[in-house]
Structure formats: C-alpha cells, structure tokens
C-alpha cells in the first residue's frame, strides 16, 4: 500500500452501532476519533446478525478475538418447503472456500467486540482509543464547517463527520438535502431468541439436526418464511429466528421500532400452515418483537462537504440477504484506506475528493447487495443492478464473499476482475443537485421526519 497521508484528522462519528464502531476501529489507527451516541447502551437489542467472510476477514485483521466473540461458524444450510419436505441441505465451509468464517453472531456480542476494538487501550491495538460519548444526541450538523451540535447545546468540530446513524439518519438528510424516501416494504418481521435447552427438551430429530452444528435453516412458504440460525451469548447457545410475514396477512399492527413487542398468539396464527417442525420451534418462544421492514431505493450520493454516510444511513437493506452489517464493515475499512492514501487533507477540496473516492469504491458492491436483499422477498426492480447481475447463486456468492478490502478491490476494478457482468453499469448514478443556499448548510433534527 502506498501511504500518502500527511495529517492526523479529528474525525467525528455520529452513531455507535455496527457501522459507527467499525468506522471507529478502522480510523483509530491514524486519527483522533470521537463517537457520539444518543443512547446510554442500557437497552441494547438482543437479536442476531451474521457476518460473511467478506466482513469477518476484515474483523480478524482488526484484531477480533473469536473466543471473546463466541460466534459459531456456519456449517450447514437447510431449506424446507412449507409442506415440510427438505428441499436442500448444503454443507458449508467458507474457511476452505473463501479463507474466512461465516460468523453467526449475537448482536450484543458483535457490538461489544467492536466497541472493544474501537475504544480499548489494549496495547496490541494500533493508534489511540476512540472516545465514546454516550447520551449525546446530535441535533444539528454544519457539514461545511465540520460542526455538530448536541441536544444539550454543546458543539464539537472535526475535519470529517461520519454518519453511522441508521435509516433515520440526520446526516443522510444533510447529504441529500431532503428526507430520504424509505417506505413500508409490504412485509414485517417477528424476531425471537430461543435457548437450545428448550429445544432439546422437545427431542425432535429435525430440530436437533438444525442445532447439532452451527446452521442456517429456512422454512419457505409462498409469501412468508421462517429463518433460523444458531448463535451464542454469554456462554448460552441460542436459536435466532426471523419470521417474515406480509403486512396484509398480519393479525396485529407493526411499526419501525425494533423494540416493539409482538404477540406470540398472532405469531403462531401467522404460521399455522407451516410444517410441524417450524411450529414447534416458534411455540418455544416466551416473547417476540415485531417490526415493519422498510424498503428504500439506492441513494444517489453518500457525501457532501465534510460529511460521509455509511451503513444503513447510506444503503439500508432488508434482512433477507443478511449483509447489512457486513457492508457497513466494508464501508469503514474503505474509508480508512482512502484517508491513509490521500495527501493534502488539510484542505476541504481534498477531503471532498477523498469522500467521493470512498463512494466510488463502495457504491457498486453495496448497491448490488441492497438490490439482491430486496429481491429475495420483493423481486428485483426493473433495470436494477441486481437484476442485471443475474441469478447464478454460486457466481453471486463468490462476488459477495471473495472480497479482500478496498485496496484489493480498487486494483481489481482497474484490471476488470470484479466479477461483474459486462452489461452491469459500474459507475455511480447521476448525483442530485445539492442545496446551494446558505440556509441549507445546516440540518437540524427537527427537520428529519420521525
């Protein structure tokens, strides 16, 4: 790698989720990093998230400790028809195929590991620990000056502001100059976690097969599906479940909130025609959450002035591909790489060019992942990059997982070795005109729709 960076930057990260903490870990090596998080971390979401080899390879490079994380490496994929027939069983070994594990993480475990990698003073980690500011809600951003304002009136200034603040992103609004257009997808998802102990008591051969080795199991109906995979938290083996239902088939109302409670009786009713194995698993739940899945077309731009958005703020994804967290980790690594190889970062025009280069490097992979995730349930949009990429599962899996970071990807782009189809547009979409008036330079939280 040719290192050209000649200035240590002060970088502000808004949001301490997967994207924000990943960015903090990547950037702490060379910069002063401050993370501002609106919550107190006392209500972390107990769910699961898997990271494919494309992301786990980066995490291992960053110093991720697999024993501390506890996450199993997926070894099997089972798919059942709604009739109960086993459609396919595919043994998986991504370490042999792609050189890195496919990790089935409890979300809290991954979040804590990223927080450790970003903020710990562990001497084996490079650079200075990022400073985490909790209960620090950002309510205004001035991207030209590089200033954020908190709810308590305090202001902080940085050379770059990174928006890892999710689908309702304040920074996204600033970058676009308008609210984004995330709409109900037409589907909602129940989320639940069940301890293995409860499942083993059933003494069901099909259920035991799914939990004997780390596995992903799918029960697929015409308009709904149940997806289960193993994970581990605090020494306990758990089965994470996402049960997707069309909104018109719900027996209760759903909202965007991840923490909204769902009804176990309504969950059972929604899957009453599914095979006995699936119904037995769902019946072991003692509580569940229900949230509405939102769909958003790819954004035309991710950066403006000193601001860059990453993760769900830049490319929110439906959960059907399981790449939301992995693509956010790719974003973070790419940002660090670009800043490390850019000179003259004491000038705004060079910062803007660097952020544009990040989007150029990341846009295609993130957008194709976003489109494929969407098409798993909704079908591809006409003319979408995912539609043009084609449906060959092996080709797409290789495209997704055979990724070795931004430096390698940049070289592959130059050499035409990206795995893309010849007829897939590789460049960025036309950018929307940015707001030009002085009044548009600042965006406040009150202007972001709830």
Q: Scan for tokens 């996450």, then name that residue.
A: 71
The stretch 168-183 carries a mean pLDDT of 89
Q: Scan for tokens 């100059």, then name that residue.
A: 177
Give me the domains of the chain, ranges plus CATH numbers: 10-40+134-182+297-447 (3.50.50.60), 185-295 (3.30.9.30)
Give the confidence band of 416 by pLDDT, cuts at 50, 70, 90. Answer: confident
**Is residue 389's pLDDT more than 80?**
no
- What pLDDT digit, counting tens, does each position of 204-233 carry? 888 888 777 899 999 999 899 999 999 999
- What pLDDT digit, counting tens, does each position of 66-96 carry? 999 999 999 999 999 999 999 999 999 999 9
CA-to-CA dists, residue 440 to 60, 163, 436, 443, angstroms: 41, 18, 7, 7
pLDDT at 441: 55
Q: Which residue has the higher pLDDT, 437 or 219?
A: 219
**Judging by beta carbons within 10 Å of its beta carbon (0-12, 13-18, 19+), is residue 122 exposed, middle or buried?**
exposed
Q: Which residue has the higher pLDDT, 425 or 333?
A: 333
CA 136 to chain centre: 22
**Is residue 40's pLDDT more than 60?**
yes
**Is residue 141's pLDDT more than 90?**
yes
Q: Scan for tokens 């960076």, then name that residue.
A: 5
* H-assigned helices in 314-405: 324-340, 348-378, 385-389, 393-401
Give the confidence band of 195 by pLDDT, cuts at 50, 70, 90. Answer: very high
Q: Which residues contact 46 (CB under 8 A, 6 or more apart)?
A: 106, 107, 108, 193, 233
d(CA 277, CA 82): 10
The stretch 307-329 carries a mean pLDDT of 94
CA 157 to chain centre: 27
pLDDT at 66: 95
Kindly report the average pLDDT of the chain as a whole number. Answer: 88
Q: Which residue has the higher pLDDT, 250 or 356?
A: 356
d(CA 259, CA 253): 14
pLDDT at 211: 78
From the list 286, 283, 304, the residue with the least C-alpha distance to 443 is 304
d(CA 160, CA 354): 11
Q: Are 412 and 398 within 8 A, CB to CB? A: no
**Is residue 1's pLDDT more than 70?**
no
What is the pairing mode between strands 307-309 and 160-163? parallel
CB environment 34-49: b (16+ within 10 A), e (fewer): bbbbbeeeeeeebbbb
Give the confidence band of 46 by pLDDT, cuts at 50, 70, 90. Answer: low
pLDDT at 348: 96
Instruction: Lowest mean pLDDT of 51-65, 105-119, 181-195, name the range.
Output: 181-195
User: What single-letter DSSP state applies at residue 438?
Assistant: G
From the list 151, 130, 131, the residue with the least C-alpha distance to 139 is 151
pLDDT at 107: 94
3-state percent helix, strand, coil for the chain, nearest multiple of 5: 35, 25, 40
The stretch 429-446 carries a mean pLDDT of 51
- What pLDDT digit, counting tens, does each position of 326-377 carry? 999 999 999 999 999 999 999 999 999 999 999 999 999 999 999 888 877 6
User: What single-letter DSSP state applies at residue 12?
Assistant: E
**Judging by beta carbons within 10 Å of its beta carbon (0-12, 13-18, 19+), is residue 450 exposed, middle or buried?**
exposed
**Is residue 426's pLDDT more than 90?**
no
pLDDT at 408: 96
Helix (H) or strand (E) holding 203: none
Helix (H) or strand (E) holding 299: none
pLDDT at 101: 98
d(CA 308, CA 163): 6
**Is residue 317's pLDDT more than 70?**
yes
d(CA 340, CA 7): 9
Tokens of 380: 């591809």
Instruction: Lowest mean pLDDT of 177-181, 320-324, 340-344, name the range.
Output: 177-181
**Is residue 430's pLDDT more than 60?**
no
Percent pLDDT > 70 in the chain is 86
d(CA 189, CA 226): 9
Q: Are 395 and 419 within 8 A, CB to CB? A: yes
pLDDT at 208: 86
In this structure, what are the phi and psi dihedrals at residue 447, rounded to the nearest 5 degrees? Answer: -90, 0
Q: Are 324 and 372 within 8 A, CB to CB? A: no
pLDDT at 2: 47
Give the confidence band of 258 by pLDDT, cuts at 50, 70, 90. Answer: low
Give the confidence band of 257 by pLDDT, cuts at 50, 70, 90. Answer: low
């Amino acid at each position: 790698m040719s290192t050209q960076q000649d200035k240590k930057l002060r970088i502000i990260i808004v949001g301490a989720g997967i994207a924000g903490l990943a960015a903090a870990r990547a950037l702490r090596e060379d910069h002063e990093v401050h993370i501002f998080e609106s919550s107190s971390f006392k209500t972390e979401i107990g769910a699961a998230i898997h990271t494919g080899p494309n992301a786990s390879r980066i995490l291992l490079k960053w110093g991720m400790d697999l024993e501390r994380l506890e996450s199993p490496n997926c070894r099997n994929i089972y798919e059942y028809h709604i009739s109960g027939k086993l459609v396919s069983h595919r043994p998986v070994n991504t370490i042999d195929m792609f050189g890195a594990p496919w990790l089935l993480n409890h979300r809290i475990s991954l979040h804590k590991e990223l927080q450790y990698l970003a903020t710990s003073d562990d001497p084996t980690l490079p650079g200075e620990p990022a400073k985490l500011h909790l209960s620090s809600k950002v309510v205004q951003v001035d991207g030209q000056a590089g200033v954020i304002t908190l709810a308590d009136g305090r202001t902080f200034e940085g050379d770059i502001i990174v928006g890892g603040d999710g689908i309702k992103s304040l920074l996204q609004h600033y970058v676009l100059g308008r609210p984004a257009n995330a709409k109900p997808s037409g589907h909602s998802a129940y989320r639940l976690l069940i301890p293995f102990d409860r499942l083993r008591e059933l003494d069901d051969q099909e259920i035991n097969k799914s939990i004997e080795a780390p596995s992903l199991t799918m029960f697929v109906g015409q308009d709904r599906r149940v997806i289960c995979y193993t994970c581990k938290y605090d020494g306990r083996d758990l089965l994470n479940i996402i049960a997707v239902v069309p909104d018109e088939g719900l027996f209760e109302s759903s909202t965007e909130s991840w923490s909204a409670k769902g009804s176990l009786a309504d969950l059972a009713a929604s899957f009453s025609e599914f095979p006995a194995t699936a119904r037995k698993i769902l019946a072991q739940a003692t509580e569940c959450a229900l949230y509405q899945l939102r769909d958003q077309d790819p954004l035309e731009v991710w950066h403006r002035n000193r601001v860059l958005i990453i993760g769900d703020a830049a490319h929110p994804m439906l959960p059907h591909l399981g790449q939301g967290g992995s693509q956010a980790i790719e974003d973070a690594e790419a940002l660090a790489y670009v800043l490390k190889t850019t000179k003259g970062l004491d000038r705004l025009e060079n910062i803007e060019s660097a952020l544009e280069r990040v989007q150029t490097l990341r846009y295609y992979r993130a957008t194709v992942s976003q489109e494929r995730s969407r098409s798993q349930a909704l079908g591809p949009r006409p003319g979408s990059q995912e539609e043009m990429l084609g449906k060959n599962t092996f080709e797409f899996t290789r495209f997704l997982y055979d990724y070795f970071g931004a430096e390698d990807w940049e070289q592959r782009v130059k050499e035409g070795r990206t795995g893309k189809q010849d007829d897939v547009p590789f460049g960025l979409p036309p950018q929307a005109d940015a707001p030009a008036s002085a009044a548009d330079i600042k965006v406040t939280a009150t202007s972001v729709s709830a």
